[in-house]
Amino acid sequence: MGPLGQMRSTISTHAKNPHRPPKKNIVELAQATPTLSTLAEALDAAKLTGTLSSAGPFTVFAPNNKAFLKLPAGTLASLLKPKNIKQLTAILTYHVVSGKFLSSDLTNGENVTTLEGANLKVTLAGGKVMINDATVETPNVNASNGVVHIIDMVLIPADPAPPPAPKNIVQLAQATPSLSTLVEALEAAKLTGMLSSAGPFTVFAPTNKAFEKLPAGTLASLLKPENIKQLTAILEYHVVLGKVSSSDLTKGKNIHDTKGLNIPTLRKEVLATNGVVHIIDEVLTLPPALEVYTVV
């Protein structure tokens, strides 16, 4: 008899009448099964009892008590603490698949997507059914809202990739291909130190295409060491002290205390650790026009 046949034969030990619809939902089944008491406790701590009591259907690969005992010392106690509910929830939802999948529905090498978002791999070999590295000890325990397969290990999802490190204004510009000309200009004007400091600053950042709109030879001239004062003045004209989001801008008054600032179309707003960058489609080199903006 193959592994699927063995799994199907096992279910007869869990129901005296296989034709009678199960009365217990997944949570009630776990609560009524002594070998799943730790899982029931964990589901309660993660506030998942409501989800797994709903209509579903769900397929749950349920670690038994012995599976939880295999975790490193102190792991379970730590996971059950309220402050670690997110981690506990991620682990438990990694054991749950949307839909009802009996043993006969599983195929060798299949990947099934969990509620946590990652996949579990099914392996059928040597008369055993494996879910990742866990062995299904008791398959096909029917519930009113799905099915439970009892396994001998706790499945731990892989750690997600760490979020990208937050960037200051200069690092943000350096990481944005469309702002490479601005980065070159900031370096030439020796302004990278200032715009890497605490600030906060608001920078209206011209794109590469914005610089291309300048008269021929203008940028090349500004980047020469002898023209650093003029370049610095132009770049500082794009910087406002303080953090000003796009929602803070209205037409009618100057954004600077002492000079107007004509802002072209705001293409994008990007937050930095020391302020905010508004990507714009022109270089601000002309005197203030009639339409300017202010903080309200």
Token pair of 22 as six digits: 């199960």
Q: How many residues does the chain have?
A: 296
Domain 169-295: homologous superfamily in CATH:
FAS1 domain (2.30.180.10)
Contact 68, 38 (CB under 8 A): yes
pLDDT digits (tens, 9 = 90+) for 128-147: 889 999 999 999 999 999 99
Looking at residue 151, what is its pLDDT? 95
Question: What class is the 3-151 domain?
Answer: mainly beta
Looking at residue 116, what is its pLDDT? 87
One digit per residue, the tens of pLDDT, for the chain of length 296 reads 333 333 333 333 343 444 566 788 999 999 999 999 999 999 999 999 999 999 879 999 999 999 999 999 889 999 999 989 989 999 999 999 988 888 888 888 888 889 888 899 999 888 888 999 999 999 999 999 999 999 999 998 887 656 667 889 999 999 888 899 999 999 999 999 999 998 799 999 998 998 998 888 889 999 999 989 889 989 998 998 888 776 666 544 444 433 444 555 455 678 889 988 988 888 887 544 433 333 32
> Where are the chain's structural domains?
3-151, 169-295
Angle of helix 85-93 relative to helix 37-45, nearest 10 degrees? 130
Helix (H) or strand (E) holding 213: none
Helix (H) or strand (E) holding 77: helix 75-79
Q: Parallel, antiparallel, or unpaired: how do β-strands 58-63 and 146-151 relate?
A: parallel
Looking at residue 279, what is its pLDDT? 87
Closest to 185 measured CA to CA, from 228, 239, 226, 217: 228
Equal CATH topology for 3-151 and 169-295: yes
Residues 187 and 173: their CA atoms lie apart, in Å, by 11
Looking at residue 109, what is its pLDDT? 86
